[in-house]
């Protein structure tokens, strides 16, 4: 792909705001540019001086708009696209009433392909360029997901859900078939183009100890793959896990026993963890996906974000929509929910930290922080353009904004997909509100 450039307000990270503080972490140029070639960022710098060195280059101009890395949603369920906005249930009822019936339909590859298309279009419309998604128990659902993402050139992670109990018969595998099918899928998809495979035992209640052991073995046998599951989301769920695994000290202890913790482990929710469980996550380098709209929408609880990110030994935390438990595909709306939950816990989440969680934080949980999540030379050119004047109230609120942080905050509180002017995947413009 020939060289091209984007020009506008560039926003990148030169340090981790949780370590260096928000001000020292930001690289911002009010008239900056990004030069892209062959799907990668070549250079980011002041527009006038830098572009003078590239005579004749095509420039997509976004004066006054914010150019940044695309969002990374590190926990989502593409098969639950039609489950979003399902009324009146908490986790276990919600799974039985809405989610499992919806997932049964993915035995049909044509249905899986159709939903994967709708899902990824919605993801890109919202400025999310990478997702880590659960598929269903059906291997065909994984083929549909990776095939559709590959056609869009997207970097994605995903995997076949493993479930061998406590779900409808049509959604069950066995420890052996789940292992065998996942192994085949790893051979087919892991490292193919921009795809990463994720070993995906759904959560402890829907797997036997034998299946969790097989999942741990499979993950160990395939270095570079990731592992995703759910943990400590809902109080009834936690009591159920205690009954099902009486020999384990707690919920995290179940995953610890079966070899499912470590760098590249991506645990969704983690709302009600004990101090012992937190210490185990820290010691093993496991990551957490914070899913704030899901945690409020299905009534699960208020995640202690600061407790994980602000201490001396932080845990890798990413930000995630968890659609269909989550109520929005927008990472801007998800940042707003994270801010509101932090407020309810007596802590104000700084916007620069929120955007870091939504990009590099999530990328780190997925072990992709050297490839995606920042606007910097060498990074893959997955980028978005946000318009601080996208709606009348955003325009009004940002008219007098004195700093980039204030603009970013207004965008995350007031913005949604309408604020995403453009989405670029590997340097190619693929969507946005203008498309």
How far apart are CB 22 and ligand GUN at their closest, in Å?
A: 30
Sign of CA dihedral 166, 172, 177, 180: negative
Closest to Zn ion by CB, 68 vs 91, is 91
Q: Does 322 bind ligand GUN (CB under 6 A)?
A: yes
Which parts of 242-271 interact with Zn ion (CB under 5 A)?
Answer: 268
Q: Could you say which residues in the range 334-373 bind ligand GUN, by CB under 6 A? A: none
3-class secondary structure, 89: coil
**Do 208 and 178 form a contact (C-beta atoms < 8 A)?**
no
Contacted by 99, from ligand GUN, Zn ion, none: CB < 5 to 8 Å by type: ligand GUN
Considering the rule CB under 5 A, would residue 427 count as an interface residue with Zn ion?
A: no
Total residues at interface with Zn ion (CB under 5 A): 2
Site membership for ligand GUN, residue 382 (CB under 6 A):
no
Residue 77 touching ligand GUN (CB under 6 A) = yes
List of E strands, 281-363: 287-290, 317-319
Q: Which is nearer to ligand GUN, 92 or 376 (CB)?
A: 92
- Tell me how far, at minimum, the Cβ of 205 lies from ligand GUN, in Å: 8
Q: Closest separation between CB of residue 35 and Zn ion, Å? A: 38
By beta-carbon proximity to Zn ion, the closer residue of 75 and 125 is 75
Nearest residue (CB) to ligand GUN, 77 versus 336: 77
As given in the structure block, the two tokens for residue 336 are: 């707003």
Residue 202 contact partner, candidates ligand GUN, Zn ion, none, CB within 5 to 8 A by sort of partner = ligand GUN
230-249 residues near ligand GUN, rule: CB under 6 A? 230, 233
Cβ of residue 78: shortest distance to ligand GUN, in angstroms?
A: 11
If the CB atoms of residues 94 and 219 are measured against ligand GUN, the closer one turns out to be 94
Beta-sheet pairing, 26-37 with 4-13: antiparallel
Q: Where are the alpha helices (DSSP H) in 152-189?
A: 175-189
Helix or strand or coil: residue 230? strand
Q: Which is nearer to Zn ion, 294 or 433 (CB)?
A: 294
Residues with Cβ within 8 Å of residue 334, at least 6 apart in sequence: 73, 292, 293, 319, 320, 321, 326, 328, 358
Q: According to CB under 5 A, which residues from 322 to 351 bind Zn ion?
A: 322
- Is residue 202 part of the contact set for ligand GUN (CB under 6 A)? yes
Considering the complex, state which of residue 13 and residue 258 has its C-beta at the smaller distance from ligand GUN. Answer: 258
- The whole-angstrom separation of Cα 369 and Cα 315 is 15
| CA–CA gap between residue 409 and residue 172 (Å, rounded) | 44
Q: Using CB under 6 A, which of the segments 19-27, 91-99, 344-352, 376-384 binds ligand GUN? A: 91-99
CA dist 69 and 71 (Å) reads: 6
Among 225, 294, 296, 334, binds ligand GUN (CB under 6 A): 294
Residue 49, by phi and psi: left (phi above 0), alpha (psi -120 to 50) or beta? alpha
Give 268 or 427: the residue with its C-beta nearer to Zn ion: 268
Tokens of 96: 């039985």
Please report which residue ranges of 285-350 form alpha helices under DSSP H: 292-297, 305-309, 331-344
Residues 230/76, Cβ–Cβ less than 8 Å: no
203 binds, among Zn ion, ligand GUN, none (CB under 5 to 8 A by kind): ligand GUN
Could you tell me which residues come within 8 angstroms of residue 61 by beta carbon, excluding any fewer than 6 positions away? 7, 8
Q: 131 and 121 in contact (C-beta within 8 Å)?
A: no
Instruction: Write out the residues near ligand GUN by the rule CB under 6 A.
Output: 77, 91, 95, 99, 202-203, 230, 233, 294, 322, 325
Instruction: Write out the residues near Zn ion by the rule CB under 5 A.
Output: 268, 322
């Amino acid at each position: 792909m020939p060289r091209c450039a984007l020009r506008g307000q560039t926003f990148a990270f030169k340090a981790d705001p949780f370590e260096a503080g928000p001000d020292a972490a930001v690289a911002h140029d009010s008239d900056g540019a990004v030069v892209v070639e062959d799907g990668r960022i070549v250079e980011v710098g002041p527009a006038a001086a830098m572009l003078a060195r590239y005579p004749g280059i095509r420039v997509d101009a976004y004066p006054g708009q914010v150019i940044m890395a695309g969002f990374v949603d590190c926990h989502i369920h593409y098969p639950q696209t039609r489950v979003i906005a399902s009324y009146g249930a908490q986790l276990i009822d919600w799974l039985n009433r809405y989610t499992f019936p919806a997932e049964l339909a993915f035995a049909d590859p044509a249905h899986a392909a159709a939903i994967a298309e709708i899902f990824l279009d919605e993801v890109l419309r919202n400025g999310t360029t990478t997702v880590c998604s659960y598929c269903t128990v059906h291997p065909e659902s994984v083929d549909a997901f990776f095939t559709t993402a590959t056609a869009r050139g997207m970097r994605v992670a995903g995997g076949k859900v493993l479930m061998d109990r406590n779900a409808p018969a049509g959604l069950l595998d066995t420890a052996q078939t789940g292992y065998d099918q996942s192994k085949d899928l790893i051979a087919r998809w892991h490292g193919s183009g921009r795809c990463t495979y994720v070993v995906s035992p759904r959560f402890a209640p829907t797997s036997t100890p034998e299946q969790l052991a097989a999942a741990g073995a499979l993950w160990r046998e395939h270095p570079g793959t990731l592992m995703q599951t759910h943990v400590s989301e809902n109080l009834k769920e936690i009591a159920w896990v205690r009954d099902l695994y009486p020999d384990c000290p707690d919920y995290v202890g179940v995953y610890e026993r079966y070899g499912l913790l470590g760098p590249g482990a991506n645990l969704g929710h983690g709302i009600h963890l004990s101090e012992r469980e937190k210490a185990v996550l820290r010691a093993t380098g496991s990551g957490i996906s914070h899913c704030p709209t899901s945690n409020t929408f299905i009534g699960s609880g208020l995640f202690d974000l600061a407790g994980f990110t602000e201490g001396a030994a932080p845990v890798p935390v990413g930000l995630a929509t968890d659609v269909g438990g989550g109520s929005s595909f927008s990472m801007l709306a998800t940042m707003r929910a994270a801010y509101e939950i932090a407020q309810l816990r007596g802590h104000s989440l700084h916007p620069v930290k929120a955007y870091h969680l939504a990009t590099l934080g999530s990328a780190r949980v997925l072990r992709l922080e050297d490839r995606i999540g920042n606007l910097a030379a060498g990074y893959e050119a997955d980028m978005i353009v946000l318009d601080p004047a996208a709606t009348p109230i955003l325009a009004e609120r940002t008219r007098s904004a004195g700093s980039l942080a204030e603009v970013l905050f207004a965008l995350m509180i007031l913005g949604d997909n309408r604020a995403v002017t453009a989405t670029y995947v590997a340097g190619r413009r693929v969507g946005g509100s203008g498309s």
